[in-house]
Structure 1
Amino acid sequence: MIIPFRKKYPIIIRPDRHAMSLDLIDKSVLDIMNRLRRHGFQACLVGGCVRDILLGKKPKDFDIATNARPQQIKRLFRRCYLIGRRFRLAHVYISSDRFVEVATFRAAVHPDQAQTGRYAANNVYGTIEEDALRRDFTVNALYYDRADSTIIDYTGGLRDLKKKIVRSIGDPLTRFAEDPVRIIRAARFCAQLGFRTSGPDFKAALDCSSLIKEANSHRLLEELYKILRCGASAETIINLKKLRILQFWIPEITAERHESRLRRRLGALDLRRKRGVEIPNAVLVTTLLFDLFYEAMDTAAARGGFQQLFIALNGYFREMAARICLPRREWEAVCNIAARYRTFTGTNGGRRWKSFERRFVQNAHFPGALLFFEILVDATGEHRDRLEYWQARASGLPEQGLRQPEGERQGRRKDRQA
């Protein structure tokens, strides 16, 4: 799609007129940009990192846009790997587990070309102006040019940043129809930044919400993880309901009877993420879906022991897991975590309890299950004594002096009396 240039753009902001602080940019990122420039290429920071720095936030990731082609980038950096079939990207590693994404400017696509497929022309390289117009939202299309430290705005992103608005570049109805996943991204950005969608974007999102069923399942799963890790998942889910996306994406979690509990759980999850706590994917998904699991625990098939509960949960929600595109191993980990809830909260006792407890704590799924239980207790305020007991068992404290939940102490007394 071609979006015509406006005469008033680009807006170029001199270094003394903007709040872009080099202190918030990793030195290794500046080194990559400087090396590109020394070899005659243009190098700009772009996207969320520029947006966040202008808002006074420390970016988590940095993206660089350049007029260097992928093979040219690869020749400049020893630890550089090219990825992607439809659009080649360069990952330049700055440590053993961190990389900076370096992408070549992409060209605008003529509507006739776009007819051949949504991604058909992604490997057509172009200018920085064309690259800006290909991006999703105006606040994500700001460039920091390392050559003269200016901010370049081709789409009105600075204006929308000041007004706290998430606005599509071009006609929102067309952009959301091209890629409905952008609606999910808009909901997340609004939640993370405290912004709102523009009026036309909100209306277009409602009109295109059903198209999310046609989106790539792997991309949707990736967006789901981003939501649950972003530190604003509770507000993002609210935004997705307002935009009518959830009813076509994950309708199982839209029931009003679940809304309050889901919001509290996600709020507890968000607090941990804001503190920088890393949380496994299986725990994230369990936190999102636990209301469904909890209701299923009362069914006849799930009233047996742990193994019966695991089998029941796995069977009840297998179709949903396939639709969300959860890998089988990850889905089984989710069911394992959920099935352990009864053991955490139960009043187990008896002669075999010690042996069971030892195996339970040593199981590979126990750390994830305990982490989820901590989130659940933080959200509800219930079962605090049982959480403390299991935390102590996890830390390997000896039996002497270990405070057990009251229900379990009573269970053991009854066993001795019997």
Structure 2
Amino acid sequence: MNLKARNDATPSLRIIPREQHVISRKNISKAALRVLYRLNEAGYTAYLVGGAVRDLLLGGHPKDFDVATSATPEEVKKLFRNCRLIGRRFRLAHVVYGQEIIEVATFRGTGEEDGDGDRHIVDGRIVRDNVWGTIEEDAIRRDFRVNALYYDISDFSVRDYVGGMQDVENRVLHLIGDPATRYREDPVRMLRAARLAAKLNFRIDAAAAAPFEELGPLLLDAAPARLFDESLKMFLGGHGLKSFHMLEQCGLLKFLLPATARALKRGDKALRGLIEQGLANTDARVAEGKSVTPAFLFAVLLWGEVRDLAHAWMVKGVEDSVAWTRAATHVVAEQCQRVAIPRRFTITMEEIWSLQPRFEQVQRKRVFRLMAHPRFRAAFDFLLLRAAESPAIHELGEWWAHAQQLPHETLAAALSGSGAVPEAPVATTASTAPRKRRRRRKPNGKSGAA
């Protein structure tokens, strides 16, 4: 079937001259400019395209710069020694300059398969697409109008074929073509709509949002690795809290994070506060240029289900450590069927969760052993997020914060009963319900070495 007919979109060129837009070459990556000039000098047409153009028009500072060109991937590779070809579903050229990669894509076509490439469609979903075409065809093949704007280095104009400039001005997201058809081609576009609306503070056009409820289940068949990448863009890009709220508003959260959606549906206000504060803290760290990790993010998002499952098993008589391990394993296994979280992150997540009950064990030896744990800092930060769960958890967080400020000798003396530090609180919560443990003492009455 002809994609142009299915998309029901007719390109109509509007050229926005340099004096009518704010894009300046000084805000464009030097590597991207080198690629554009080299392609033009070799006789090919080439434009800066997509999110970089959109963000520059909005006064932003893009991190990634993509190029669309009439040159095929093989022709691009001949021009750049620092080029590698990647992808089977969509063949692309990556031109590498140090740490920066400029992604160069050949104009995608709308016609049937021909000698210049191949296209494979299964149940309306594009599983492979390497048919080349014109810039007009390429424009209507893109997802949102605001992502189909082309910056022309030859005269510094912006070329708009589908009304993207008007959408930038009106701060709205329209899909190009029929929304249901476009989502069936690639269900991840639904998540991308939510993410872009949150990032850009745009509204989603009603027609673009209408199919979410019906077509949301298509996300269950999306590649888990793609959903992990999309999750990182959504939650670690500096707009995580807005993205989370947008997912809830669009009814898509249950398809991406089923355990989170179930836990929140139980009406736990403290859990919602924990998640929202965790996402807000992550956004603040991104804004400050600090490091963030998917492990802590997913530990926050999945905590409610892990905690509730562990508690349910402990009530049935399962030993505490076994219950926590079983709950973590169960929740992680389910989530990884949807989002392929790498093992190096799930290990850290499980450690953060498993350390939470250990904060309630404030005997001298155990305190110093916990402080020496490589995941102590992450687990402590997580404990502080849990403060709203109960007054006892809040008090416990304060005690550990105070304990970390004390010299080793002072803390050791206090824990031995000879110091002036206030006694540690006993945190017994409905969420963890720890069993009472006897304080062990050596026969000589002295505490063991830390």
Where on the TM-score scale, by shorter chain, does this alignment land: which range? 0.7 to 0.9
- Structure 2: 5+ residue runs without aligned partners? 416-420, 428-438
Distance 1:386 1:35, change over 3 A: farther
SS in 2 for 1:143: strand
Task: Note if 1:32 corresponds to 2:35.
Answer: yes
SS of aligned partner of 2:67: strand
CA 378–76 in structure 1, closer or farther in 2 if over 3 Å, else same: farther
For 2:249, give the aligned amino acid: K
After superposition, residues 4-23 of structure 1 pair within 5 angstroms as: 6=10, 9-23=12-26
Q: Which amino acid aligns with 2:240?
A: S
Q: 1:410 to 1:128 in 2, by over 3 A?
A: closer
Letter in 2 for 1:298: H
Residues 2-401 of structure 1 aligned to structure 2 (within 5 Å):
2=4, 3=7, 6=10, 9-95=12-98, 97-110=99-112, 115=121, 118-119=125-126, 122-254=129-261, 255-256=264-265, 257-258=267-268, 260-261=272-273, 262-301=275-314, 309-315=324-330, 317-344=332-359, 346-350=360-364, 352-353=365-366, 356-357=369-370, 359-360=372-373, 363=374, 365-366=375-376, 368-370=378-380, 372-373=382-383, 382=394, 385-386=398-399, 388-389=401-402, 398-400=408-410
**Amino acid aligned to 1:235:** K
Distance of 1:76 and 1:233 partners within structure 2: 39
Query: CA distance change for structure 1 residues 107 and 264 in 2, over 3 Å: closer, same or farther?
Result: same
Shift of 1:101: 1.1
Relative to structure 1, the CA distance from residue 377 to residue 161 in structure 2 (aligned partners, 3 Å threshold; closer, same or farther) is: farther
Query: Aligned equivalents of 1:4 and 1:133: distance in 2?
Result: 9
The residue identity in structure 2 corresponding to 1:175 is R
Give the conservation status (yes or no) of the 8 Å contact 1:313–1:335.
yes
Mark the CA change 1:77 to 1:375 in structure 2 (over 3 Å): closer, same or farther.
farther
Shift of 1:265: 2.4
Q: Deviations over 1:34-73 (max 9, x none)?
A: 2222222222111111111100011121111111221222
Identity of aligned residues (%): 32
Matches of 1:91 and 1:390, distance apart in 2: 51
User: How far did 1:295 drift?
Assistant: 2.5
Could you say which structure has the larger radius of gyration?
2
User: d(CA) in 2 for partners of 1:25 and 1:247?
Assistant: 38
CA distance in 2, matches of 1:75, 1:378: 60
C-alpha separation in 2, matches of 1:140 and 1:407 = 59
CA positional deviation for 1:354? 6.0
Post-superposition offset of 1:154: 0.8
- Counterpart AA for 1:100: I
Over the aligned positions, Cα root-mean-square deviation in angstroms equals: 3.5
Q: 1:5 to 1:265 in 2, by over 3 A?
A: closer
- Structure 1 gaps of 5+ residues are none
Residues 283-311 of structure 1, C-alpha deviation per residue, up to 9 Å, x if partnerless?
12112112222333434449856676335
TM-score by structure 2 length? 0.79
> Which shifted more, 140-149 or 246-255?
246-255
**Alpha-carbon displacement from aligned partner over 1:164-201 (angstroms, at most 9, x marks no partner):** 11110011121112211111100011111111111111
Instruction: Give the direction of change, closer, same or farther, for the CA distance of 1:209–1:80 in structure 2 (3 Å limit).
Output: same
Out of 70-79 and 164-173, give the one that drifted further.
Answer: 70-79
Q: How far apart, CA to CA, are the structure 2 residues paired with 1:64 and 1:219?
A: 22
**Distance in 2 between residues matched to 1:392 and 1:36, nearest whole Å:** 59
1:239 counterpart letter in structure 2: M
- Report which stretch shifted further, 370-379 or 197-206: 370-379
Q: Distance in 2 between matches of 1:372 and 1:71?
A: 49
Give CA deviations for 1:209-253 in whole Å, capped at 9, x if unaligned. 222222222212221122111222222222222222223332221
The one-letter code of the counterpart of 1:130 is E
How far apart, in 2, do the equivalents of 1:94 and 1:406 lie? 58
CA distance in 2, matches of 1:201, 1:409: 53
Q: Which amino acid aligns with 1:194?
A: N
Q: Which string of whole-angstrom CA distances, capped at 9 and with x for unpartnered residues, describes residues 295-344 of structure 1? A: 33434449856676335422455333334333344322211122122334
Mapped contact 1:310–1:336 kept (Cα < 8 A): no
**How far apart, in 2, do the equivalents of 1:120 and 1:297 lie?**
40
CA distance in 2, matches of 1:187, 1:155: 21
Moved more, 381-390 or 58-67: 381-390
Structure 2 Cα separation of the partners of residues 121 and 373 of structure 1: 46
Residues of 2 paired with 1:264 and 1:114: CA distance? 44
